[in-house]
Amino acid sequence: MAIKSGKLYLGEKLKTPSENFQIRNCLMKYGHGGVVIGSEMSGGVKNVNIEKCIFYKTDKGIRVKTRRGRGEQGVIDGIIVKDVYMDEVKVPFVFNSFYFCDPDGKTEYVYTKEKLPVDKRTPHIKNLEFENIVCIETEVCAGFLYGLPEKPIENIKFKNINISFTNKDVEADYPAMMSHIEKESKCGFFIANAENVKFENVVISGNVGEQIRIQGEKE
């Protein structure tokens, strides 16, 4: 299930978010994500509640994607996910502020990890809550959170989360569609450019290396 609200010109013209979604009792199978927000989100996305769903063999679980150029109206705000079960999902949680598709997606403006000025082209992700979620047979990464250095992802809470990795040998893969990152295999949470990230009763098992890796100016 994909939630979008247009590219930059629509966001500037209409200033209308996609908002107030209730997603319950759904089975998501085989897609790029269970529930995906963006990357065309220039009008904003607000108040999305996801409950009592099963994601089976989706590439990602909850997937939020944007990039520079989506615009200041492109604010993702108020995503609440509860009571979700994920089976064989490669990366349960992805928040990617450097999404690289479309002709402009691989430009230096999009991919640079340097801090740029905040202007009318700068999107924002904030206020995300995840509670009572079980993920089994995970392969690539528990969670990949990569905000913009000039506009970090704000206010993320993980509560009562249990993520277990598969016992099988798995091929390393990219945790998100962005330029200049490394492939991962059975890694924990990777966090870059995020503020006020809270973990409460989060259990990760079967991972390789650190359970939480943090990078960037603001953690």
Span 28-57, average pLDDT: 96
Span 140-168, average pLDDT: 97
216 has pLDDT over 90: no
Q: Specify whether the CB–CB gap between 85 and 58 falls below 8 A.
A: no
| pTM of this structure | 0.95
Return the closest-CA partner of residue 127 out of 153, 108, 155. Answer: 155
Q: Specify whether the CB–CB gap between 209 and 187 falls below 8 A.
A: yes
| Average model confidence (pLDDT) across the chain | 95
Q: What is the pLDDT of residue 124?
A: 97
Q: Which residues contact 106 (CB under 8 A, 6 or more apart)?
A: 100, 179
